[in-house]
Structure 1
Amino acid sequence: MTERQEFHGGVNVVHRHGDVVHRPASPAAPAIHRLLDHLHDQGFHGAPEARGFDAEGNEVLTFLDGEVHNALTPQLRTPELLTSAAVLLRRLHDATVTFRPRPDDRWLFPARQPAEVMCHGDAAQYNCVVKDGVAVGLIDFDAAHPGPRVWDVAYAVYRFAPLQGPDNPESFGTPQQQARRVAAFCRAYGPGVGAEVIDAVPERLQALLDLMRAQAAQGNEAFQQHIADGHTDLYEADIRYVRAHRDVLRAAFDAR
């Protein structure tokens, strides 16, 4: 009997059938499938493989074996997970350097200059596949779009450091501890991203706020619910938090 499971994400309901998953296809799905094909052609296997669409129009993707956690529990706040997530994101970015977007591609986020790589767009623990405490894959490429490396790293450190204020239920650590985790993430990621990531975080979160409100205004019920649940309030508070602690957060890069 084929295994069938249902998963509820932040926006989509995903159904697993054995070694593949069926999930609602976004307008960006054709471009995303080309991107996934490109990643595997380049030898990056930490992302699902695209298997087309089912009879109901859902996209079909291979299932990545491992655990996905909605929150960074104390057991996941390890240097191993932090640095392996950074290395995984670096490998993803490097594999996309030769990907060529098309003028008619419909990305959720607009392309951002300089378009150095294809950003995952939502590199966070809830899209990170973990095995034995190490990040081995990234799922849910719905927010993928062309952009600079630092743009994607900014959201990743916001989630993994995390760069969140004490009023955010997902936050942990002092600003100094968070700063050291940001610096460690960027050090593991490698050349191309440094202390400027701190200034990119508020801008990246503002872009997310703008997207959420635009999608909600267009009738997207998932984003309407996110706003009703207070997600935008948390992002705005975290923007203020990062700006207020900018000097402390950047100092960790000088200390390394």
Structure 2
Amino acid sequence: MVATLLHEIPLQGGDVTDGVVRVGDTVRRPAGTSTPAVHALLRHLEAAGFDGAPRVLGFDRFGREILTFLPGRTGLRVESASDEALAGLARLLRRFHDATAGFPLTMDGWEGGSNDDKAPEIIGHCDLTPENVIFHQDDPSTPYALIDFDLARPTTRLFDIVTTLRHWAPIADPVDRAPLLRAVDVGARLRLFCDAYGLRPRDRRRLLELARLRFHRSYTVMRTRAAAGGNWAKMWASGAGERIRRATAWLDVHEDELHARLV
């Protein structure tokens, strides 16, 4: 029998977790404190028939978690920055939220982070950056899967939507946006996403208020984590705090026009 040598291919793009590699048709990731909770969630999603997340395959001899590799593209491109892609992401997020129904909403075992004041309704991904959404290789305007659930936790639908729109509308000062999104009509993209998700009118009225609350709390959480060093410290040193402050100021200036689009 001829042994097959599987090479490790580093996977780049994440801000928080180092050491993520592809080995054949699998992904190997360092285990963390939230890994048991994340694995339980991924198994729940598999049982619920949700096909937009990796499957858990166990651990390798180095103690790394083994997940299925999901082929496709990540990041912002012309296609993934389109209105079609944004609406597709809203529908994908809605399916994910619905699929978490019945999963325990206790806060035990999760990484934690900023959150809504209202009681949890679902498990939120809470980190849907462009690097954590997989688009079809042959249909790059269609998102089909979510990855990197390290920051997932019990929350409200609206909080996870706000977190997603922070990156995808985006709710950010133009100076901090990706070039493809620098001149977009943010209000129109907020409305498009909420329509495609099917967000209730009462939640739309609260969306910008919650976005401001999230900015405030995320700033505090990130500053605290940065003090402990590691990748959080690198993110903070790269200007994460200043970007949050600029986003808050931009929202203050444009809140009325954004609210008018939403409601």
TM-score by length of 2: 0.88
> Residue 54 in 1 paired to residue 64 in 2?
no
Letter in 2 for 1:117: I
Q: Structure 1 residues 149, 2: CA separation in 2 closer, same or farther (over 3 Å shift)? A: same
Residue among 66, 70, 90 paired with 2:72 = 66
**SS state at 1:76 partner:** coil
Letter in 1 for 2:78: P
Aligned twin of 1:108: 112
CA contact (8 A) 2:26 2:68 kept: yes
Aligned twin of 2:168: 160
Pairwise CA distance, 1:244? 1.8
Inter-partner Cα distance in structure 1 for 2:130 and 2:114: 23
Inter-partner Cα distance in structure 1 for 2:61 and 2:108: 24
Q: Structure 1 residues 183, 111: CA separation in 2 closer, same or farther (over 3 Å shift)? A: closer
> Residue 32 in 1 paired to residue 32 in 2?
no
Residue among 207, 224, 249 paired with 1:240 = 249
Pairwise CA distance, 1:225? 0.7
Pairwise CA distance, 1:102? 4.8
Aligned residue pair count: 249
Note the alpha carbon deviations across 1:5-62, whole angstroms, 9 max, x for none.
1013212231100111111222011011001100111111101111222222222111
Inter-partner Cα distance in structure 2 for 1:156 and 1:104: 23
Inter-partner Cα distance in structure 1 for 2:119 and 2:255: 24
CA contact (8 A) 1:21 1:62 kept: yes
**SS state at 2:32 partner:** coil
Inter-partner Cα distance in structure 2 for 1:231 and 1:111: 18
CA contact (8 A) 2:120 2:154 kept: yes
Note the alpha carbon deviations across 1:46-85, whole angstroms, 9 max, x for none.
011112222222221111111111xx33343211110010
> Residue 41 in 1 paired to residue 40 in 2?
no
> Where does the alignment leave 5 or more consecutive residues of structure 1 unmatched?
none
Q: Structure 1 residues 183, 217: CA separation in 2 closer, same or farther (over 3 Å shift)? A: same
> Where does the alignment leave 5 or more consecutive residues of structure 2 unmatched?
none
Inter-partner Cα distance in structure 1 for 2:36 and 2:175: 39
Q: Which moved more, 1:51-60 or 1:30-39?
A: 51-60
Residue among 226, 233, 248 paired with 1:224 = 233
CA contact (8 A) 2:165 2:190 kept: yes
Aligned twin of 1:180: 188
Letter in 2 for 1:41: A
Aligned twin of 1:195: 205
Residue among 155, 171, 177 paired with 1:147 = 155
CA contact (8 A) 1:157 1:182 kept: yes
Percent identity reads 33
Name the Cα RMSD after superposition.
1.8
**SS state at 1:115 partner:** coil
Inter-partner Cα distance in structure 2 for 1:209 and 1:26: 23
CA contact (8 A) 1:37 1:50 kept: yes
Q: Structure 1 residues 24, 68: CA separation in 2 closer, same or farther (over 3 Å shift)? A: same
**SS state at 1:118 partner:** strand
Aligned twin of 2:96: 92
Q: Structure 1 residues 191, 168: CA separation in 2 closer, same or farther (over 3 Å shift)? A: closer
Pairwise CA distance, 1:110? 6.6
CA contact (8 A) 2:162 2:211 kept: yes
